[in-house]
Homo-oligomer: A and B are copies of this chain.
Amino acid sequence: MGVIDESGVLALATRLQRLSEQMRKDGLLIYKAHGIDFEPKWFPIIYTLHFKPVLSVVELANEIGYAHPSTITLLKELEKLKIIKSGKDKADERKRLVQLTEKGKALIEQMKPVWQIITAAATQLIDTKTNLMKAIEEVEQQMELQGMYQRALSLMAANNIKNQPDK
């Protein structure tokens, strides 16, 4: 039971991050190749607003699964580019309601064929024998059930009980 084959799992976080970076970089290049100035990190927001046209900042953050400050940063960029616009909710002045501009809607139409290409290219990459997409979904579900830390605690407890007699 050597230490050798632990290395893959133990360095998993790093590998996930680097894979993510690579995909984002390539995504950017693909948009560029179509003459579109669009960053992959903006996708979740744009895409969500395409289907839910008016949302507050926090609602949007929840929809895309980001912390709200990350969302605010992205919204700032998109607002500067006039892809989205926003204004106070008159019914609840704490809220800022966000929606696509006409320019934003046009951009989406322009991007749709590119999304097909990206999806096709990513699918080629991902559809190996063991499907990454499915694997991630399953792990995300497992995580929700119980995170790695909680699992480790249980394992430690089990170990302590087993080792008790030896002491």
Contacts and interface: CB of A to CB of B under 8 A. Distances in A.
A7 B118 CA distance: 11
Contacts of A18: 65
B13 A148 contact: no
A125 B3 CA distance: 19
Contacts of A117: 152, 155-156, 159
Interface residues of A, number: 73
A151 B155 CA distance: 43
Interface in A1-37: 3, 6-27, 29-30, 33-34
Interface in A111-165: 112, 115-126, 128-143, 147-149, 151-153, 155-156, 159
Instruction: Tell me the number of copies of this protein.
Output: 2
A41 interface: yes
B148 A122 contact: yes
A20 B19 CA distance: 10
Contacts of A134: 129-130, 135
B6 A116 contact: yes
Interface string A32-56: 0110000011011001001000000
Nearest to A108: B3
Given A3-B115, A125-B148, A133 B8 contact: yes
A27 to B, nearest CB: 7
Contact of A123 (B9, B41, B128): B9
Contacts of A130: 130-131, 134-135, 138
7 contacts: A6-B115, A12-B133, A22-B147, A118-B152, A120-B152, A124-B151, A130-B130
